[in-house]
Amino acid sequence: MNWGYRIMLIIGLFLAMLFYFVYIASQQKNELMDSNYYKEEIEFQQKIDASNRLNQIYNKPLISQEQGNVNIRIPTQLAHHLKDGKIELIHYNDHEADLHLTFEPDSSGAQVFPSLLFKTKGQYKCRIQWRDDSGKYYREEDLQL
């Protein structure tokens, strides 16, 4: 085989590989975790203050997994005075698997979510926020299902 054909073959293989990688890259989903990113950024200092308020009272993880269920437990002294709260479970790779739930713990401060609630397994960022008479509380934790 002539060296000119070899060079053409190498260039052709390189171009085929390049087009293959471009095709694979175009099929990937690249979504922002928040659709309202700029609004969240403006309110970020309030989240820091709420997180610091919670860390002064309770510095342990709020989320645990037992028997296939996701358990969220806050201190009982905070659960008795809770006015309203919400939980956002943001899936890292699939925006359609995100969950936005109301946080309504029982008198012991616990709320249980069955695993059937989660459509997609994988890595989630769990954002828990609630307020009571003394102020707002906030915590972010990672959750692997």
pLDDT at 28: 81
Q: Is the pLDDT of residue 1 over 80?
A: no
Which amino acid is it at 76? T
Domain ranges of the chain: 1-30, 37-144
User: Could you report the per-residue pLDDT of 18-73, keeping only the tens digit for each?
Assistant: 999 999 998 887 766 666 777 777 788 888 999 999 898 888 888 888 888 888 98
Its pTM stands at: 0.71
Hey, how many other C-beta atoms are within 10 angstroms of the C-beta on 89? Answer: 21
| DSSP-based helix, strand, coil % in the chain, nearest 5 | 40, 30, 30
pLDDT at 116: 79
Instruction: State in words which class domain 37-144 has.
Output: mainly beta
